[in-house]
Homo-oligomer: A and B are copies of this chain.
Amino acid sequence: MQTIGFIGLGIMGKPMAKNLLKAGYPLIVYDINQEAVEELVDCGAMAGRSSKDVATKSEIVITMLPNSPEVKEVVLGANGVAEGAQPGTIVIDMSSISPIASQEIAKELAKQGVVMLDAPVSGGEPKAIDGTLAIMVGGPQDVFAKVRDILLHMGSSAILVGEIGSGNVTKLANQIIVALNIAAMSEAMVLAVKAGTDPEKVFQAIRGGLAGSTVLDAKMPLVMEGNFEPGFRIELHIKDLLNALDTAHTVGVPLPLSSQVLEIMQALKVDGKAKEDHGGLIQFYEKLANVEVRK
Residues of A within 8 A of B (CB): 99, 122-123, 134, 136, 159, 161-163, 165-166, 169-170, 172-181, 183-185, 187-192, 194-198, 201-202, 204-206, 208-216, 218, 244, 247-248, 251-258, 260-261, 264, 285, 288-291
Report yes or no: B198 in contact with A161, Cβ–Cβ below 8 A. Answer: yes
**Do B202 and A210 touch across chains, with their CB atoms under 8 A apart?**
no
In chain B, what residue has the closest Cβ to A168? Answer: B195
| Closest chain B CB from A228 CB (angstroms) | 16
Given A190-B253, A256-B260, CB of A169 within 8 Å of CB of B195: yes
Given contacts A170-B192, A244-B191, A257-B260, contact A180 B177 (CB under 8 A): no
A174 touches which of B134, B211, B255, B290 (Cβ 8 Å): B211
Q: Which residue of B lies closest to A290 (CB)?
A: B252
Q: In the assembly, what is the distance between CA of A288 and CA of B192, in Å?
A: 33
Q: Is the CB of A159 within 8 A of B204?
A: yes
Contacts of A175 on B, CB cut-off 8 Å? 211
- Given the interface pairs A99-B195, A196-B169, A260-B260, the reply to whether A180 lies near B178 with Cβ below 8 Å is no
Nearest-CB residue, chain B, relative to A231? B210
Contact of A212 among B185, B213, B258, B290 (CB under 8 A): B213
Closest to A264 in B: B256
The complex places the Cα of A285 from the Cα of B192 at a distance, in Å, of 29
If the complex has contacts A191-B247, A209-B122, are A216 and B254 also in contact, measured as CB distance less than 8 A? no
A161 touches B205 (CB 8 A): yes
Q: Which listed residue, B163, B173, B194, B214, touches A188 by the CB 8 Å rule?
A: B173
A-B contact pairs, 24 of them (CB 8 A): A136-B206, A159-B204, A166-B195, A169-B202, A172-B188, A172-B192, A173-B189, A173-B206, A174-B211, A176-B184, A176-B191, A177-B181, A178-B211, A180-B181, A180-B187, A180-B257, A181-B213, A183-B257, A187-B255, A194-B252, A195-B253, A196-B251, A213-B214, A254-B285
A196, B165: Cβ atoms closer than 8 Å = yes
- A187: which of B136, B215, B258 is its contact (CB, 8 Å)? B258
